[in-house]
Amino acid sequence: MLGPNISRLQRCTEALHSVPFLGPTMNDAFDTCSALFHEVSSQGLAPTLYQIASHLSGERKQHQGLPLKGQEVIKSVQAVDLGAEEYKNIVIIGGSIFGIATAMQVRYSLPLPKNYRLIIIEKHSHMHYMFAFPRASVIPGFEKELFAPYDNLFKSAKEGRVIQACATSITPTHVELDRSVDGFGTIVPYEYLLYGAGAKHPRPGCLSDESTKEEGVTVLKEYQARIGRSDKVLVIGGGAVGLELAAEIKEHYPEKEVTLVHSRERYLQTYKFGLHRRAYSILKNLGVRQILGDRVTIPPGGFKDDGKEIVVKTRAGLSITSDLQILCTGMIPNSALLSTLSPASVNPENKYVLVKPSLQIADPRFPNVFAGGDVVDLPDIKTGISAFAHAAVAIENVVKLVEGKEKGLKEHEIKLVERSPVLPQIYLYFGLHRGIAQLSYHGYLYTAGTWLVRKHFSYNVLASRAWDWCGTPLSAETVDT
């Protein structure tokens, strides 16, 4: 009996490794369980179990990457005329985590009602795996792995389509595009709309303006060159991106002076204090100069990228000499587009989208419009975990509305699910060999250091999971697509 049991255990371990969040190595039961809980909390139970079962059954082998050189290239579903009048569209604005998570919910656990399909409108040609941008701004060689193609996100035209275009306006019946696309022209009608346009961050933490993979790779390489040429780097902002970027620079270039200025008295103030303590300790041991509770005075027009050494002043009167300044400050919600439909659903103070517990936008005139992810005005931490949770609620409520109306129910008679608060969880990578995390176990939050996070280390910060999400496994043959 021992032999078969060991064989089954090995297969289960391999299956767990196939799930993106679980990381490349897990040496004991505690690490495996901790990682599994993180995976489930991040992308949901059904997708996680499906990935494990698919690996065990061999189903994952059915995933086909893009053709090798010399083979016929089959056009993706994006190039197929779907016959717009034959389908009812559930349009998603934004193809980042919220949009991808919605597609995964439909793929793995919540099929859409008959004749309904998903239409994702996204200005980027590829999904941007932003979690690895801080490292890729410093260390060269894996930039292409951080941009996953959308080509195989949907298995068929009936399931859905990704449109590469910019939405310019939203009306009560349709979305207007900045260009003509096959099957629609410049207008995409919708029955339901999910708004997941996210938020804009400064480069290099976010590459909002780069619409193609080539443009994104070029920007990351430019930052590598700028950081490589510099001697004294000033990182402004101690959020997740600023912390990771400062650590990556100092670990890879220990001879450089790296200064991190953060406006708060502690890092990661929405998390447990232990996370701040771990972050501060790692940066201190790396040799990063840390200035907390102070702000940099940014000159009118911003900093010049000329490599010249300048003296930067802080509000507290400190002088910091640097020849490269990198902004890692805050985020700006991309809510302007939704305001073309419902100005009342955008908070005038912070510009985030106001939503009900069902994730319908606040405006009662539009019960068929939902929002989620970084763009919504909720206390949930702005992370991928929250976006996954919001996507599950939004698409389930869309299905409930469709099915309820088909049964003859009125909207107020249909019981919708309500969001639950998303516990603040996060992984942070402080270079190739150090990291910290805050995770949840049965509702209890705990922080962990390198001893746990190292189980999830990979040179590309687990970028292969983004490719799995998009339906094209990362390989030497697909990385250039």
Render pLDDT for 104-135 as a digit per residue (tens, 0 to 9). Answer: 999 999 999 999 999 999 999 999 999 999 99
pLDDT band for position 20 (cuts 50, 70, 90): very low
| CA 109/CA 451 separation, integer angstroms | 34
Residue 325 pLDDT > 90 = yes
| CA 5/CA 9 separation, integer angstroms | 6
Q: What per-residue confidence (pLDDT) applies to 70?
A: 33
> Can you tell me the mean pLDDT for 259-278?
97
**Is 403 part of any domain?**
yes
**Is 78 part of any domain?**
no
Residues 258 and 190 placed together within one structural domain of the fold: no
| CA 424/CA 55 separation, integer angstroms | 30
Domain end (from 413, 444, 473): 413
| Under 8 Å between Cβ of 442 and 112 | no
Read off the DSSP letter of residue 266. Answer: S
Tell me the pLDDT tens digit for each residue of 188-221: 999 999 999 999 999 999 999 999 999 999 999 9
Domain residues for the domain of 313 are: 217-330+429-461
Mean per-residue pLDDT of the chain: 87
**Is 276 part of any domain?**
yes
CA pseudo-torsion sign 86, 92, 95, 100: negative
Q: What per-residue confidence (pLDDT) applies to 66?
A: 29
| CA 204/CA 105 separation, integer angstroms | 30
Q: What per-residue confidence (pLDDT) applies to 39?
A: 52
More confident residue, 71 or 90: 90
Cβ atoms within 10 Å, residue 231: 14
Q: What per-residue confidence (pLDDT) applies to 330?
A: 85
DSSP codes, 428-441: EE-SSS-EEEEEEE
Pairing of strands 185-189, 174-181: antiparallel
Cβ atoms within 10 Å, residue 477: 15
Report the percent of the chain where pLDDT is more than 90. 78
Strand order in the sheet with 174-181: 167-170, 174-181, 185-189
Q: What are phi and psi of 246, to 5 degrees?
A: -60, -40
Tell me the pLDDT tens digit for each residue of 345-355: 999 999 999 99
Residue 57 pLDDT > 90 = no
Residues 118 and 246 placed together within one structural domain of the fold: no
Does residue 425 sit in helix, strand or coil?
Answer: coil
Residues 341 and 266 placed together within one structural domain of the fold: no
- Please give the C-alpha separations between residue 123 and each of 50, 177, 208, 411, 457, in angstroms, as whole numbers: 30, 10, 9, 33, 31
pLDDT band for position 46 (cuts 50, 70, 90): low
Residue 89's DSSP bridge partners are 117
Residues 194 and 115 placed together within one structural domain of the fold: yes
**Is 190 part of any domain?**
yes
Instruction: Please give the structure tokens belonging to residue 42.
Output: 């991040």
More confident residue, 401 or 38: 401
Does residue 324 sit in helix, strand or coil?
Answer: strand
Residues 309 and 339 placed together within one structural domain of the fold: no
Residue 436 pLDDT > 80 = yes
**Is 208 part of any domain?**
no
Q: Which amino acid is at 400?
A: K
Residues 307 and 283 placed together within one structural domain of the fold: yes
**Is 321 part of any domain?**
yes
Instruction: Please give the structure tokens belonging to residue 96.
Output: 């980042």
Q: What per-residue confidence (pLDDT) applies to 119?
A: 99
Residues 307 and 435 placed together within one structural domain of the fold: yes
pLDDT band for position 305 (cuts 50, 70, 90): confident
Tell me the pLDDT tens digit for each residue of 357-400: 999 999 999 999 999 999 999 999 999 999 999 999 999 999 99
Tell me the pLDDT tens digit for each residue of 92-107: 999 999 999 999 999 9
Residue 10 pLDDT > 50 = no
Of the candidate ranges 52-61, 216-225, 269-278, 467-476, the one whose mean pLDDT is the lowest:
52-61
pLDDT band for position 157 (cuts 50, 70, 90): confident
Read off the pTM: 0.83
**Is 389 part of any domain?**
yes
Residues 117 and 47 placed together within one structural domain of the fold: no
Q: What are phi and psi of 178, to 5 degrees?
A: -85, 0
Q: What per-residue confidence (pLDDT) applies to 3?
A: 36
Contacts of 315 (CB under 8 A, 6+ apart): 294, 295, 297
Q: What per-residue confidence (pLDDT) applies to 303?
A: 93
Instruction: Please give the structure tokens belonging to residue 205.
Output: 């933490």
More confident residue, 10 or 187: 187
> Can you tell me the mean pLDDT for 325-348?
97
| Under 8 Å between Cβ of 61 and 79 | no
pLDDT band for position 85 (cuts 50, 70, 90): low
Q: What per-residue confidence (pLDDT) applies to 49?
A: 56
Tell me the pLDDT tens digit for each residue of 229-259: 999 999 999 999 999 999 999 999 999 999 9
pLDDT band for position 338 (cuts 50, 70, 90): very high
**How buried is residue 277: exposed, middle or buried, by Cβ count under 10 Å (0-12/13-18/19+)?**
middle
Residues 319 and 456 placed together within one structural domain of the fold: yes
pLDDT band for position 45 (cuts 50, 70, 90): low
Residues 26 and 103 placed together within one structural domain of the fold: no
Contacts of 50 (CB under 8 A, 6+ apart): 108, 109
Q: Which amino acid is at 2?
A: L
Residue 311 pLDDT > 90 = yes
pLDDT band for position 4 (cuts 50, 70, 90): very low
**Is 75 part of any domain?**
no
Report the percent of the chain where pLDDT is more than 70. 82
Q: What per-residue confidence (pLDDT) applies to 448?
A: 94
| CA 214/CA 458 separation, integer angstroms | 23
pLDDT band for position 33 (cuts 50, 70, 90): low
| CA 96/CA 93 separation, integer angstroms | 9
Residues 223 and 274 placed together within one structural domain of the fold: yes
Residues 189 and 304 placed together within one structural domain of the fold: no
CA pseudo-torsion sign 248, 251, 256, 258: positive
CA dihedral 263, 371, 85, 399 (to 10 degrees): 140
pLDDT band for position 456 (cuts 50, 70, 90): confident
Query: What CATH number is attached to the domain comprising 231?
Result: 3.50.50.60
Tally of domains within the chain: 3
Q: What per-residue confidence (pLDDT) applies to 89?
A: 98
Residue 53: in which H helix or E strand, if any?
Answer: helix 45-57
Residue 224: in which H helix or E strand, if any?
Answer: helix 213-229
Read off the DSSP letter of residue 474. Answer: -
pLDDT band for position 18 (cuts 50, 70, 90): very low
